[in-house]
């Protein structure tokens, strides 16, 4: 057994070894912009902080630039490094000199270059005479170069046993979920997760790094406040005045959502919204809470975002990408996105994420605005001391820049006096005349870091100390792409609103939100981004009344069409309730009814929901909580906004006994019996249908072996697209309805509407042609694009 004395001796020996270990840092992309602006300075700061503790270093810059040219470039950058304010100039010159002697540059291209690099690292370690403890490879290179470099490092530059390897990666980490997955898999074949440090430099910003500690340290005050009952909204904003001239070849493939929102603003969002773990220093617990926050994010749709593009962008694209004048890039340089979280803490609280180039000011902040229920009858100038309960109450994490100029945490004095770590944060006196977020600075308790540090310096130090909580893990990255990719896909062809840039933007980019929809507040004075030809505007048309397949057709622009259908449904509902005390409405899934659900949810306060029974005309064989489920769409866009007694809601029983649409479970019979029991004569007051591009309706597809005729009311069917298994109303059941509305929207439907207008009764080929209510009325609702093309 070891004695205590031996243990102590061993321990101090280990500590002494650790203190004198050698660390090699290899900066790849050493002649690039980021290296010049931040990374060399960050490495110098690391050297200043850690060499005094006994660590030995060597710094190797590498890039594709030829050696001599690269050496000259790096020498200039090293000459411009600066020391902290409290270091005397002579001492600073000495320290820079030491750092320069430890730094060198080489051209690295081939696998032989990496082998040679590895040999040199070993020689440097030997020369320093102390044990090697680790190597850091910093990838400040474009992502297409990642895999080759990773392969070379893995095969030639891995250190020996007991010496750690850390690789630092800079965004972009893919441009959508699939590419991010591919890149993660490739990198994962060379490095272990714990070896990878994906940088999001916002996580190195002092204020961002303070969000969790602030929430933790002030939890007594915040516990009751940090939730939907008290928070009015959260704004997460990064405004920039610069444009992207000179960076177009990168930027045009990414745009503002990929460049800023998917990473910086999303990271910040999760820190604000996640549940606090018991121990905020536990990297694993923080990650789990973050992932839970991602799960609670409600899926985004096209209408969740507004996009803009500064006017000079086009010309910059033509110049930098050598595109013809006729080329128009749709890449957004401005985006506002409305995000919601479906959990008990944040249900209903709007999170606004906004970023843009060429705006009127440079500022990044998170603003948590609280609800204020007080009304003060006196003018502010007559308020007595302490009578400030009418003031807005807010907590602001000023990440940087803006009127204040420095990072700061601000808390309205009407809320509470916050506590921040005294050794690193100091209270700042208010500056007379300075107004922040509409209030004099004196309204806030304000705290700033004692020593301001730039994000890269913070992150480099954290990499050195193996503090992984400031980096983006693979799971976290993929969760973020999974959230953003569907929106990016749906916006791919969206024409951004043009804006002049700077103060001239005026109110052009102001936006408003209503439920899950976001829209610019101002209609543009002119069509700034010209569409093809002289497109008629919605107001140029009245809803058009005509006939289609011998039944009434209502055609209009989408918004008007949806509004008309919603009011027709309401009128039908009111009549049904007057007649029988109930309204039985069967709804279909798909994307077309989403706008209708939203319209019904928000614009129809007179709707007799309390007497309405809601049924599904078809369903996908997935669990009801699955995003693919029609019921889920209904829930997200309608049910959660209205008050229908829960026993009036009749989801299709596709998920019984833990199985999906198993014949033995007799889900179709169960639903048919429920209909027969509750709906007089199984005749719905209204069935809402759509029409697919192949002529299907509900989930009755061409050549379906069931549901097109016969006795069955509800059937199992197969769809050619995923998910294949479906449950559906049969045509005979549909045709018993008092009224059937078929909603058809979008240009994609143009061909099928033309075709179906010509075919006779042929449900085998075109199931929609079998919709012919025996005694009820069929009405078609088509938007102009579906009807006229
Ligand atoms: C980078 C983006 O990640 O962040 C740039 O690629 C942006 O487009 C920059 O300008 C902003 O960072 P900061 O630290 O100046 O707010």
End-to-end CA distance of the chain: 87
Compute, in angstroms, the gap from residue 190 CA to the centroid of ligand 1. Answer: 29
Closest residue by CA, ligand 1 atom 9: 260
Compute, in angstroms, the gap from residue 35 CA to the centroid of ligand 1. Answer: 14
What pLDDT is stored for residue 628 in this prediction? 92
The tally of CA atoms less than 13 A away on the side-chain side of residue 492 is 7
Q: φ, ψ for residue 275 (rounded to 5)? A: -70, 140
Do residues 585 and 573 lie in contact, with contact meaning Cβ atoms separated by under 8 Å? yes
- Residue 389 pLDDT > 90: no
Mean pLDDT calculated for residue range 294-320? 96
Supply the residues annotated as catalytic.
264
What pLDDT is stored for residue 591 in this prediction? 83
- Residue 757 pLDDT > 60: yes
The atom number, within ligand 1, closest to the CA of 399 reads: 16
What pLDDT is stored for residue 722 in this prediction? 87
Q: Which of 786, 782, 679, 783 is nearest to 738 (CA)?
A: 679
The atom number, within ligand 1, closest to the CA of 205 reads: 14
Compute, in angstroms, the gap from residue 334 CA to the centroid of ligand 1. Answer: 13
Compute, in angstroms, the gap from residue 264 CA to the centroid of ligand 1. Answer: 9
What pLDDT is stored for residue 187 in this prediction? 97
Compute, in angstroms, the gap from residue 496 CA to the centroid of ligand 1. Answer: 21
What pLDDT is stored for residue 532 in this prediction? 41
The atom number, within ligand 1, closest to the CA of 259 reads: 6
* Greatest extent of the chain over all pairs of C-alpha atoms, in Å: 99
| Residue percentage of the chain with pLDDT more than 90 | 86
Check pocket membership of 364 for ligand 1, CB cut-off 6 A: yes
What pLDDT is stored for residue 379 in this prediction? 80
Check pocket membership of 200 for ligand 1, CB cut-off 6 A: no
Neighbours of 484 (CB within 10 A): 20
Check pocket membership of 262 for ligand 1, CB cut-off 6 A: no
Looking at 16-20, 97-101, 443-447, 622-626, which range is the least confident one? 16-20
Mean pLDDT calculated for residue range 411-429? 95
- Residue 1 pLDDT > 60: no
- Residue 208 pLDDT > 70: yes
How buried is 733 (Cβ within 10 angstroms: 0-12 exposed, 13-18 middle, 19+ buried)? buried
What pLDDT is stored for residue 543 in this prediction? 56
Q: Which of 201, 250, 406 to mutate to test the pocket of ligand 1 (most atoms within 8 A of CB)?
A: 201
- Residue 123 pLDDT > 90: yes
Work out the pLDDT band at 399, boundaries 50, 70, 90.
very high
Quick: pLDDT tens for 275-286: 999 999 999 999
Closest residue by CA, ligand 1 atom 5: 259
- Please calculate the CA angle 666-671-674 and round it to the nearest 5 degrees: 125
- Residue 386 pLDDT > 70: no
Q: Which of 597, 593, 589 is nearest to 624 (CA)?
A: 589
Do residues 464 and 457 lie in contact, with contact meaning Cβ atoms separated by under 8 Å? no
Looking at 58-62, 343-347, 411-415, 589-593, which range is the least confident one? 589-593
What pLDDT is stored for residue 143 in this prediction? 87
- Residue 374 pLDDT > 50: yes
Compute, in angstroms, the gap from residue 202 CA to the centroid of ligand 1. Answer: 9
The atom number, within ligand 1, closest to the CA of 264 reads: 3
Mean pLDDT calculated for residue range 36-45? 98
Quick: pLDDT tens for 450-492: 999 999 999 999 999 999 999 999 999 999 999 999 999 999 9
Q: Which of 513, 507, 504, 480 is nearest to 306 (CA)?
A: 513
Q: Which of 268, 284, 286 is nearest to 276 (CA)?
A: 286
- What is the distance of C-alpha 643 from the center of its chain? 30
- Residue 699 pLDDT > 90: yes
Quick: pLDDT tens for 710-719: 999 999 999 9
Closest residue by CA, ligand 1 atom 6: 259
Tokens of 650: 């009749």
The atom number, within ligand 1, closest to the CA of 242 reads: 10
Q: Where are the beta strands (DSSP E) in 92-152?
A: 103-107, 132-139
Mean pLDDT calculated for residue range 668-691? 98
> Is the bond preceding 723 in cis, omega lying within 30 degrees of 0?
yes
Closest residue by CA, ligand 1 atom 4: 260
Compute, in angstroms, the gap from residue 671 CA to the centroid of ligand 1. Answer: 55
What pLDDT is stored for residue 385 in this prediction? 64
CA–CA separation, 696 vs 620, rounded Å?
Answer: 14
- Assessment of whether the complete model's pTM goes beyond 0.75: no
Check pocket membership of 259 for ligand 1, CB cut-off 6 A: yes
Mean pLDDT calculated for residue range 128-141? 95
Work out the pLDDT band at 316, boundaries 50, 70, 90.
very high
Work out the pLDDT band at 538, boundaries 50, 70, 90.
very low
Quick: pLDDT tens for 547-572: 899 999 999 999 999 999 999 999 99
Quick: pLDDT tens for 226-253: 999 999 999 999 999 999 999 999 999 9
Q: φ, ψ for residue 592 (rounded to 5)? A: -55, -45
Check pocket membership of 240 for ligand 1, CB cut-off 6 A: yes
What pLDDT is stored for residue 10 in this prediction? 39
Neighbours of 588 (CB within 10 A): 26
Ramachandran class of 323: left when φ > 0, alpha when ψ lies in -120 to 50, beta otherwise: beta
Mean pLDDT calculated for residue range 344-364? 97
CA–CA separation, 638 vs 649, rounded Å?
Answer: 12
For the chain, the average pLDDT equals: 92
Work out the pLDDT band at 516, boundaries 50, 70, 90.
confident
Ramachandran class of 358: left when φ > 0, alpha when ψ lies in -120 to 50, beta otherwise: left
What pLDDT is stored for residue 524 in this prediction? 62
């Amino acid at each position: 057994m070891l004695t205590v004395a031996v243990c102590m001796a061993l321990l101090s020996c280990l500590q002494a070894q650790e203190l004198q270990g050698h660390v090699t840092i290899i900066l790849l992309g050493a002649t690039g912009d980021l290296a010049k602006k931040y990374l060399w300075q960050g490495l110098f700061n690391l050297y200043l902080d850690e060499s005094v503790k006994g660590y030995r270093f060597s710094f190797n810059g590498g890039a594709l630039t030829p050696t001599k040219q690269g050496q000259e470039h790096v020498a200039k950058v090293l000459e411009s490094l600066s020391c902290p304010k409290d270091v005397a100039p002579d001492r600073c010159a000495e320290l820079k000199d030491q750092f320069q002697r430890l730094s060198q540059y080489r051209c690295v291209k081939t696998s032989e270059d990496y082998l040679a690099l590895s040999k040199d690292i070993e020689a440097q370690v030997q020369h320093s005479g102390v044990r090697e403890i680790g190597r850091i490879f910093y990838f400040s290179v474009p992502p297409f170069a990642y895999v080759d470099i990773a392969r070379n490092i893995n095969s030639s530059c891995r250190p020996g046993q007991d010496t750690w390897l850390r690789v630092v990666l800079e965004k972009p980490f893919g441009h959508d979920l699939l590419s991010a997955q591919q890149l993660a898999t490739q990198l994962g074949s060379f490095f272990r997760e714990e070896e990878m440090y994906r940088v999001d430099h916002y996580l190195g910003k002092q204020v961002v790094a303070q969000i969790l500690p602030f929430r933790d340290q002030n939890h007594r005050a915040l516990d009751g406040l940090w939730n939907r009952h008290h928070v009015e909204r959260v704004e997460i904003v990064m405004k920039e005045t610069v444009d992207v001239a000179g960076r177009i070849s990168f930027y045009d493939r990414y745009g503002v959502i990929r460049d800023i929102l998917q990473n910086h603003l999303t990271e910040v969002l999760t820190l604000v919204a996640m549940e606090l773990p018991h121990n905020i220093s536990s990297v694993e617990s923080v990650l789990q809470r973050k992932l839970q926050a991602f799960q609670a994010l409600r899926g985004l749709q096209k209408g969740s975002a507004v996009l803009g593009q500064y006017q000079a962008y086009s010309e910059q694209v033509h110049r930098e990408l050598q595109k013809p004048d006729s080329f128009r890039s749709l890449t957004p340089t401005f985006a506002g996105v409305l995000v919601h979280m479906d959990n008990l803490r944040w249900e209903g609280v709007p999170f606004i994420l906004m970023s843009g180039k060429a705006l009127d000011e440079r500022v990044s902040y998170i603003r948590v605005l609280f609800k204020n229920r007080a009304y003060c009858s006196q003018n502010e100038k007559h308020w007595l001391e302490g009578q400030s309960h009418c003031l807005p109450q807010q907590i602001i994490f000023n990440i940087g820049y803006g009127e204040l100029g420095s990072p700061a945490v601000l808390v309205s004095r009407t809320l509470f006096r916050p506590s921040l770590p005294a050794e690193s944060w100091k209270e700042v006196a208010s500056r007379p005349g300075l107004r922040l977020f509409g209030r004099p600075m004196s309204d806030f308790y304000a705290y700033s870091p004692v020593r301001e540090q730039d994000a890269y310096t913070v992150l480099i130090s954290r990499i050195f100390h193996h503090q992984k909580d400031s980096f983006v893990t693979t799971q976290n990255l993929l969760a973020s792409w999974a959230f953003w990719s569907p929106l990016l896909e749906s916006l791919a062809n969206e024409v951004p609103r043009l804006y002049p840039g700077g103060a001239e933007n005026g109110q052009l980019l102001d936006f408003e939100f209503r439920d899950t929809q976001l829209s610019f507040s101002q209609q543009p004075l002119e069509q700034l981004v010209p569409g093809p030809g002289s497109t008629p505007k919605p107001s140029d048309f009245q809803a058009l009344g005509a006939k289609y397949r011998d039944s009434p057709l209502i055609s209009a622009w989408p918004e008007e069409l949806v509004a008309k259908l919603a009011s027709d449904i309401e009128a039908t509902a009111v009549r049904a309730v007057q007649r029988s005390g109930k309204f039985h409405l069967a709804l279909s899934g798909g994307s077309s009814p989403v706008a209708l659900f939203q319209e019904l949810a928000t614009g129809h306060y007179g709707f007799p929901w309390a007497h309405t029974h809601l049924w599904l005309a078809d369903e996908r064989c997935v669990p009801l909580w699955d995003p693919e489920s029609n019921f889920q769409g209904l829930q997200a866009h309608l049910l959660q906004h209205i008050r229908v007694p829960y026993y009036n809601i009749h989801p299709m029983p596709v998920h019984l006994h833990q199985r999906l649409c198993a014949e033995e479970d007799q889900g179709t019979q169960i639903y048919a019996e429920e209909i027969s029991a509750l709906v007089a004569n199984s005749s719905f007051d209204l069935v809402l249908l759509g029409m697919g591009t192949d002529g299907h309706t509900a989930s009755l597809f061409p050549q379906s072996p069931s549901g097109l005729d016969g006795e069955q009311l509800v059937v199992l069917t197969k769809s050619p697209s995923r998910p294949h298994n479906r449950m559906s109303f049969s045509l005979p059941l549909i045709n018993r309805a008092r009224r059937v509305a078929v909603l058809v929207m979008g240009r994609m439907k143009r061909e099928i509407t033309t075709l179906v207008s010509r075919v006779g009764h042929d449900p085998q080929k075109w199931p929609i042609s079998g919709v012919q209510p025996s005694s009820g009325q069929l009405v078609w609702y088509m938007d102009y694009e579906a009807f006229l093309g």
